[in-house]
Copies of this chain bind each other. A is one copy, B any other.
Amino acid sequence: MTLPTEQDGTFVSAELYAQVQQFYAFQMNLIDERDAERWADTFTEDAVFQEASRMDPLHGRGAIRTSARANADRFLHSGVQLRHWLGMLQVRQEPDGSLRTRCYALAMRTPTGGELDVFVSVVCRDHLVPADGGWLVAHRDLTHDSAGK
């Protein structure tokens, strides 16, 4: 399955754009607060999560939950607060109503009593599908800038 990387510069409605912004704010907050279970619930049952620089693809909500739980526990025990920022969001709606999004992501961490470290820049490409008046991630592809072209 491939995700288109191109956006054409056309605009979606403010209503749709603000929904996606709010979805991401909600979703990133869940992972940063180490709520792996509710984080996993923002993906479809058969979601695919790809982050080639870090790991093999995760297939399905269960695998995403297990991976998130392990990461959350690791950060909790090490006393490090993680934050994920998304920005420069582009949204395109498909004829079937699903969304192709592309945005930049920054990950940063602060140890308790320590200094902020903004440590990685990533491009996030999602396929979002409608669910219960909101959205779920059906496919996420994260490409680290350090991976080069």
Q: Give A residues with C-beta under 8 Å from B.
A: 7, 9-15, 17-19, 21-26, 28-29, 42, 76, 79, 81, 83-91, 102-104, 106, 108, 110-116, 118-121, 134, 144-149
Quote the shortest CB–CB distance from A35 to chain B (angstroms): 10
Chain multiplicity (copies)? 3
A23 and B7 CA atoms in complex are apart in Å by 11
Contact A90 B121, CB 8 Å, known A110-B145, A145-B83, A145-B110: no
Residue pair B111, A146 in contact (C-beta under 8 Å): yes
Residue of B nearest to A76 (CB): B149
Our pick among B28, B119, B134 for the contact of A11 (Cβ within 8 Å) is B134
Q: What are 20 A-B contacts with C-beta separation under 8 Å?
A: A7-B29, A11-B18, A13-B15, A14-B17, A21-B89, A22-B89, A26-B90, A81-B149, A83-B104, A83-B145, A85-B87, A106-B116, A110-B144, A110-B146, A112-B146, A113-B146, A114-B146, A116-B121, A116-B145, A116-B146
